[in-house]
Amino acid sequence: MLSEYKLTLTPKTIESADPKARPFLEKAKAQMGFVPNMYLGMANAPGLLDTYLHGYALFRQGSGFTAVEQEVIFLTISRQNGCEYCMAAHSLVADAMSKVPVEVTDAIRDGRAIPDAKLAALAAFVAVMVERRGLPRRADVEAFLGAGYTERQILEVVLALAVKTISNYSNHLLHTPVDAAFASRAWKD
């Protein structure tokens, strides 16, 4: 899903980026071998890029969710928001790095039931948090807790929502093209 209005901002490069954004782009290139198109677009607002990367790292490192659960969360939010870029990128990360079973990733991508009860409960809760704008019903929270998650992890879902809102909405507005590295998992809303 792309915004009807496309921002006219030109994606930055390492060389053209604001000095505040440049270190983030350099670090991405050193770690991944390329700078994702999403970062190049976000570099137009260094505070946005910094906030996204900082929140993303904090969620990855301290959320209490496994790598598989983290991808379920990111994919569910991105699907709910219709972000083609993040669906492609997180599908590839799910496959190659987080080792999410492909039937789980594909179920989320296709809007089908997830074949794992705990992951299904997680995705259902995350979807409710997106749809209800952080106002889950008591039954939604009880189902999440009943699946083995904690109240603290509800707040970690809020962090994931914040991070993915930054990336999903930026990609909608910038019409961010999917990088070649993620193209094998391209997705359309």
* Average pLDDT per 10 consecutive residues for the chain, totaling 189 residues: 94 97 97 97 98 98 98 98 98 95 98 97 98 98 98 98 98 98 95
The single residue listed with the structure tokens 């930054």 is: 166
Predicted confidence at residue 36, as pLDDT, reads 98
CA dist 27 → 10, 14, 32 (Å): 21, 10, 8
Distance CA(40)–CA(32), nearest Å, equals 14
Among 73, 70, 68, which residue's Cα sits nearest to residue 126?
73
For the chain, the C-alpha Rg in angstroms (whole number) is: 16
CA dist 154 → 136, 148, 149 (Å): 10, 12, 8
Distance CA(23)–CA(64), nearest Å, equals 28
Distance of CA 20 to the CA centre of its chain: 23
**Crossing angle for the helix pair 67-81 and 102-110, nearest 10 degrees?**
20
User: What is the three-class DSSP state of 167?
Assistant: helix
Count of CB atoms situated within 10 Å of the CB of 78: 27
pTM over 0.75: yes
All structural domains of the chain with their residue ranges: 65-185
Report whether CATH 1.20.1290.10 matches the domain 65-185: yes
Predicted confidence at residue 85, as pLDDT, reads 98
Predicted confidence at residue 94, as pLDDT, reads 96
Q: How many CA atoms, within 13 angstroms, populate the side-chain half-sphere of residue 127?
A: 17
Predicted confidence at residue 105, as pLDDT, reads 98
Predicted confidence at residue 1, as pLDDT, reads 79
Distance CA(124)–CA(127), nearest Å, equals 5
